[in-house]
């Protein structure tokens, strides 16, 4: 794969988040693993102004090539996750409305619906608050995501990771849907939750869900 492909993928993905109402303005960031580091979206650029040339390559040691755009302020969070999670090749962070509402209330998404299991677990927890772009935030998110594909970030937003960018995008969108459903049930007295054993069955079933690679 040449670097042109991940650069264009990031542009397309950021515009998709904006078009689907999962992100607004210059908030949020996306990255893909590449070589010894990653490509990540630049800091402070709205989706309509993004170009492949603005995507920033950050090496594994944090080095950014001279003359590159400034990487997203959250680049440490992305890099820390890649270094910790061999199964992660793409990361999506956004400020989707209902996920952010719950994040600001420090309220996790419980097992109210079987699709919560797309997160890799029976619930979607909330990572502790820390200032955006800080090493403390990166560490807290990495710890909360241990063994999971998604979590909320206290007073901040949503983050999802996956082996490929389309899947990371799909997980982020589904978690936002579950956040919206949960917020809706709270106006009716709260959800009736699925039992732990049922969620374990669903998580197991999801491992076999969908189309396998052609060679399988």
Name the residues annotated as catalytic: 74
Tokens of 18: 């904006």
144, 150, 151, 156: CA torsion to nearest 10 = 120
What are the residues facing 59 on neighbouring strands?
A: 37
**Residue 44, phi-psi category: left (phi > 0), alpha (psi -120 to 50), beta (remainder):** left
Tokens of 135: 């090493």
Q: Quote the CA–CA distance of 183 and 161 in Å, as a whole number.
A: 23
Query: Where are any strands of DSSP class E within the chain?
Result: 29-34, 37-40, 56-59, 90-94, 126-127, 150-153, 157-162
E strand map for 104-178: 126-127, 150-153, 157-162
Q: Which residues pair with 93 in a beta bridge?
A: 29, 159
């Amino acid at each position: 794969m040449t670097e042109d492909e991940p650069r264009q993928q990031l542009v397309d993905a950021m515009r998709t988040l904006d078009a689907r109402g999962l992100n607004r303005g210059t908030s949020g960031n996306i990255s893909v693993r590449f070589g010894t580091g990653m490509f990540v979206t630049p800091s402070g650029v709205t989706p309509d102004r993004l170009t492949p040339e603005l995507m920033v390559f950050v090496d594994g040691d944090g080095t950014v090539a001279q003359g590159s755009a400034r990487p997203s302020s959250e680049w440490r969070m992305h890099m820390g996750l890649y270094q910790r999670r061999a199964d992660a090749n793409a990361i999506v962070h956004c400020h989707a409305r209902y996920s952010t509402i719950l994040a600001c209330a420090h309220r996790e998404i419980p097992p109210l619906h079987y699709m919560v299991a797309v997160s890799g677990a029976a619930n979607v927890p909330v990572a502790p608050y820390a200032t955006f772009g800080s090493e403390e935030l990166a560490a807290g998110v990495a710890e909360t995501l241990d063994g999971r594909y998604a979590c909320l970030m206290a007073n901040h937003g949503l983050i999802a990771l996956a082996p490929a960018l389309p899947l990371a995008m799909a997980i982020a969108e589904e978690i936002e849907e579950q956040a919206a459903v949960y917020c809706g049930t709270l106006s009716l007295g709260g959800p009736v939750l699925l039992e732990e054993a049922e969620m374990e069955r669903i998580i197991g079933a999801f491992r076999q869900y969908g189309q396998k690679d052609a060679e399988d």
